[in-house]
Every structure is written in C-alpha cells, then in structure tokens.
C-alpha cells in the first residue's frame, strides 16, 4: 500500500506540473482526490492492514493528500496568473500609436472653378442670384425674347415636363426673375445646373453647368461689358490674357457677341488645347434686348444692361486639361482627388 501511495503521489505530481489550463487541473483534482478518486480507492484497502501499519499508512495517505492539494493550489494560481498576463498582453492598447487619418471630402473640379469665378465677381461688387432648375417655359424662353418657333424650343433640345414647365436649358431665366424682383442698379451672377436633351459623349452631357451674369443700370454700355469681362479673363486665366469679341446672335441680347480668350496654354501661338487657333471661346454675351427689359418690368428708355453666360464645364476641362466631359459626372474619387 505504501508503494501504491508513493506511486500515486509521483504520478499526480507529474501530471499536475504538465497541466496547462484550469480545466485540466480541475479534472486532475477529481481524478486523484475526488470521492471516487484514486486516493479514495487505495484507502478502501485500509481495512486489511494490521493495527500497527494503519496509523503509518494513514499518516502517509494524509501527507500524500496534502501534497497533492498544495500542488493543485499552486499550479492553479500559476495558471491563473499566466492567463491574466496573457490577457493583459493581448488587450494592451498602445496609446502612443498615431490615430487613423480621416478621409476629408474633396472639392469637385466644377466646384473649384465655380468658387474661383464667384470670388472674382464678388470682388467686382456682384452678388449671387438663384433660380429654379424646374422652370416655367415663360422664363426660359418667352421672357428671353425667344419665340415659339425658335429651334431651341424644339423637343429635341429641351426636356419638357408639361408644355409650360421644363428643365431650364440655360441660367438666363434667372436674369428675368432677378429683374422682376429688383430695381436697378442690378449686378448679379447666377451659377447653376442646366439641362439639354443631348446624348452623352466626350463633349456633351444632358446636365451641365453655366454661370449667368447681369448688370442693369442707367448708362450701361458695351464698354462696361468689355471692361468687366476683360478683368474677369485676366483674373481667371492670368494677367497676360487677351480677349476678342466676335459678333454673334442670341435672342435676348442686341448686339450679341462671343468672347474668346488667348490660349492660356500656349499664350496664343496655337496648340492642342486651343485647336491650333490661339484662341478659346469661353462665353456668350451682349446688351440686354429692350424687349427683355420691358417684359421684366424695366424701362428700356431709362436703363440699359449687359449679360453674359459662361459654360463652367468647358472652362474646367480647359483649365485642368480634362479631355472627356464624362469624367466630371462619374465622381470617381481617383479622378476627383487629382484636383
């Protein structure tokens, strides 16, 4: 029996030292010290011992039990400590680590161009006027001296909602809305989206952007128009920029003109950007037609005015060397982030 107890003690010691988890320890405790454990099994045989042997074996058995109990206790503490340390290590937060960088929003090239143009005109004393994108045909056409049979009114060019309501094809209706509401002197610009029933390709989109300009006061002349637009061209494209006004036709201005700027890429020598002409067309303009003033409630005998309309998308493409208009509408961040 003594042998059995010593063997048991040794085996228990080895196994306990090898245990790696609290669970393992617990099952070893049951295995050796439990009610049906090995120690109990051995002690069952006590009855067959002689009275002299009994206290000796009894003492030994108690020692073995105590030893195993202590070992289990120790091992358990050690494992618990290790587990705690492992957990602490695992959950350690390095507060000196740099944070994740925020991804900031990014201005679209159209917005950049609009902001820059607005800045220039605000600096010249203009303010910003707004008008609806879903517009009455009256403001988009009639009030702009564009009669019923004008080709621009064709279904092919205009998105009609009803026969009277449409998506504005130009920012020019804001001129009329402004003149109806405000007495001269008027000095406004009006940037915004416009719509035309065009198929999408590298230079056409059913939605694009314009910026309208309108000045009405006593004694406004074509000289004022040229002066203001020259200042704008130099501020936007660079001080050495020259301008050229070509006669043109718009129903709502008389006389009308288109303005070209000397090519900012080649300075006018001729290159790919300007199609080897040295000039780039950027806007339409003219003196506000007396009919338009009259219909908007302004006396054309007393007041005169000039107006202009810029194509924002085209200017953005020229300025940033963008070759396909569609890129401006796809909103691919890889593209937008380049500006």
The minimum distance between CB 251 and ligand DAH, in angstroms, equals 9
Binding mask of the shown chain, residues 189 to 228, with x at each position contacting ligand DAH by CB under 6 A: -----------------------x----------------
The distance of closest approach from Cβ of residue 162 to ligand DAH in the complex, given in angstroms and rounded to an integer, is 22
Backbone angles phi, psi at 193, to 5 degrees: -85, 145
What's the sign of the alpha-carbon dihedral 271, 333, 201, 208? negative
Shortest approach of ligand DAH to residue 194 CB, angstroms? 7
Instruction: Specify the stretch interacting with ligand DAH by CB under 6 A; choose among 20-28, 75-83, 266-274, 307-315.
Output: 307-315
For 137, phi then psi, to 5°, come to: -55, -30
- Cis amide linkage into residue 185, ω under 30° from 0: yes
Total number of residues that touch ligand DAH (CB under 6 A): 11
Taking CB under 6 A as the criterion, the residue among 167, 286, 293, 303 binding ligand DAH is 286
For 71-137, the DSSP string reads HHHHHHHHHHHHHHHHHHHHT---TTSPPPPP------HHHHHHHHHHHHHHHTT-EE----SEEEH
Least distance to ligand DAH from the beta carbon of 229, Å?
11
Nearer to ligand DAH, 237 or 250 (CB): 250
* Measured distance CA(276)–CA(257) in Å, rounded: 22
DSSP per residue over 253-314, as a string? Answer: EEEEEEEEEE-TTTTTS--TTTTTSSEEEEEEEEEEPHHHHHHTT--TTT-EEEEEEEEHHH
> Which candidate, 228, 234, 284, places its Cα nearest to that of 262?
234
Q: How far apart are CA 9 and CA 32, in angstroms?
A: 9
Contact between 257 and 248 under an 8 Å Cβ cutoff? The reply is yes
Sites for ligand DAH among residues 167-186 (CB under 6 A): 170, 172
- Determine the length of the chain: 339
Please select the residue that binds ligand DAH; options are 72, 166, 167, 307, rule is CB under 6 A: 307
Subset of residues 308 to 327 that bind ligand DAH, contact rule: CB under 6 A: 308-309
Minimum CB distance to ligand DAH, residue 99 (Å): 48
148 is in an annotated binding site: no
Query: Which of positions 234-273 make contact with ligand DAH (CB under 6 A)?
Result: 250, 253
Check if the beta carbon of residue 206 is closer than 8 Å to that of residue 198: yes
Task: State the nearest-atom distance from the C-beta of 123 to ligand DAH, in Å.
Answer: 20
Which among 197-205, 238-246, 263-271, 304-312 is the span making contact with ligand DAH, rule CB under 6 A? Answer: 304-312
Which of residues 141 and 279 has its CB atom nearest to ligand DAH in the complex? Answer: 141
Tell me, rounded to whole angstroms, the distance of Cα 283 from its chain centroid.
30
Nearer to ligand DAH, 146 or 262 (CB): 146
Query: Which residue is nearest to ligand DAH, using beta carbons?
Result: 309
Q: Under the rule (CB under 6 A), what is the footprint of ligand DAH?
A: 170, 172, 212, 250, 253, 284-286, 307-309
Provide the annotated binding site for Mg(2+).
254
Provide the annotated binding site.
254
């Amino acid at each position: 029996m003594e042998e059995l107890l010593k063997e048991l003690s040794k085996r228990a010691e080895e196994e306990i030292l090898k245990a790696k988890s609290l669970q393992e320890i617990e099952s070893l405790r049951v295995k050796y010290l439990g009610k049906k454990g090995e120690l109990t099994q051995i002690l069952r045989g006590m009855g067959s011992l002689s009275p002299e042997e009994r206290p000796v074996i009894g003492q030994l058995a108690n020692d073995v039990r105590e030893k195993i109990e202590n070992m289990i206790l120790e091992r358990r503490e050690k494992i618990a400590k290790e587990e705690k340390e492992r957990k602490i290590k695992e959950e350690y937060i390095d507060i000196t680590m740099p944070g994740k960088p925020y991804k900031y929003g990014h201005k679209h090239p159209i917005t950049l161009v609009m902001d820059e143009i607005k800045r220039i005109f605000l600096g010249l004393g203009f303010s910003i006027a707004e008008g609806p994108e879903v517009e009455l045909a009256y403001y988009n056409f009639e009030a702009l001296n564009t009669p019923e049979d004008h080709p621009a009114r064709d279904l092919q060019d205009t998105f009609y909602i009803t026969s009277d309501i449409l998506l504005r094809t130009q920012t020019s209706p804001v001129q009329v809305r402004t003149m109806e509401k405000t007495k001269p002197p008027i000095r406004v610009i009006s940037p915004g989206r416009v719509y035309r029933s065009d198929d999408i390709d590298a230079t056409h989109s059913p939605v694009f952007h314009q910026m309208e300009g309108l000045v009405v006061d006593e004694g406004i002349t074509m000289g004022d128009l040229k002066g203001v637009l020259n200042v704008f061209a130099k501020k936007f494209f660079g001080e050495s920029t020259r301008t050229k006004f070509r006669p043109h036709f718009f129903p709502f201005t008389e006389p009308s003109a288109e303005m070209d700027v000397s090519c900012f890429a080649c300075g006018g020598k001729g290159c790919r950007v300007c199609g080897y002409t040295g000039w780039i067309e950027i806007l339409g303009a003219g003196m506000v037609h007396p009919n338009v003033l009259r219909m908007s409630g302004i006396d054309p005998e007393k007041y005169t005015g000039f107006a202009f309309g810029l194509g924002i998308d085209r200017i953005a493409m020229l300025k940033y060397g963008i070759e396909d208009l569609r890129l401006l509408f796809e909103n691919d961040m890889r593209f937008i982030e380049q500006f």
